[in-house]
A and B are shown apart, each in its own frame.
Chain A
Amino acid sequence: DTGVSQDPRHKITKRGQNVTFRCDPISEHNRLYWYRQTLGQGPEFLTYFQNEAQLEKSRLLSDRFSAERPKGSFSTLEIQRTEQGDSAMYLCASSLRDDSESSGANVLTFGAGSRLTVL
């Protein structure tokens, strides 16, 4: 396992089109997260899954955004009717829930991201 994989790495689309990003987490990780990062800023939380259940969604996630993790493994993030303001890096991360308090427990491992440019 080489870590968290995201596809595509880059996507250029026209305003109004739909786009879908895929994330393959580290295989033994039961938690999966989506974050968004705009240029010069830190990542912002969008949503997370524990196994196949989507347990929390940020208010940043408008109704044009939908995320799924149907089998508790890979996840997709779809953006419908894209807007120029959606241009950003979409980062996926995964973690293994660990009830210990040791350093590094529950740490999110991030993928390289999918960069979206909406023209």
Chain B
Amino acid sequence: GESVGLHLPTLSVQEGDNSIINCAYSNSASDYFIWYKQESGKGPQFIIDIRSNMDKRQGQRVTVLLNKTVKHLSLQIAATQPGDSAVYFCAESPVIQGAQKLVFGQGTRLTINP
């Protein structure tokens, strides 16, 4: 069945260092992947997305890498800041243009240490 999961439930990083959050997915039919950030008491906030016809996409301080061969997704955050502390979810969907029936992973809690 469909499932999206994360390798590590928690991650601590020193402020200013780079962080990498990993995600494994099992649905080979997935066409679209997305990372959300969720701070305490708030809803998930969009970070970056990628389609299956790409293997890398960069945003501001963030990069998403997609390896379809091993069904692996990662989020790299450069020069981490205290405000990056949150729970990060990867999610996948079979299509980008249809309804976004996203399947979320469990999440990784990222803590930025001063």
- Taking residues whose C-beta sits less than 8 angstroms from the other chain, chain B's interface range is 20 to 34
Interface size on A, residues (CB 8 A): 31
Interface string of A102-119 (1 = CB under 8 A from B): 011111111111000000
Among candidates A33, A91, A103, residue contacting B100 with C-beta atoms closer than 8 Å: A33
> In the complex, how many angstroms separate the beta carbon of A111 from the nearest chain B beta carbon?
5
Given A41-B107, A42-B89, A103-B48, do A95 and B100 touch, yes or no (CB 8 Å)?
yes
Q: How far is the CA of A10 from the CA of B27 in the complex (A)?
A: 35
**A107–B34 CB distance below 8 A:** yes
**B97–A56 CB distance below 8 A:** no
Among candidates A41, A101, A108, residue contacting B46 with C-beta atoms closer than 8 Å: A108
Q: How far is the CA of A36 from the CA of B106 in the complex (A)?
A: 13
Given A48-B101, A95-B100, A103-B48, do A42 and B106 touch, yes or no (CB 8 Å)?
yes
Given A48-B99, A55-B99, A99-B97, do A104 and B46 touch, yes or no (CB 8 Å)?
yes
Instruction: Please report A residues at the B interface, Cβ cutoff 8 Å.
Output: 4, 31, 33, 40-45, 48, 50, 55-56, 91, 93, 95, 97-99, 101, 103-113
Instruction: Please report B residues at the A interface, Cβ cutoff 8 Å.
Output: 4, 34, 36, 41-46, 48-49, 51, 57, 59, 89, 91, 96-97, 99-107
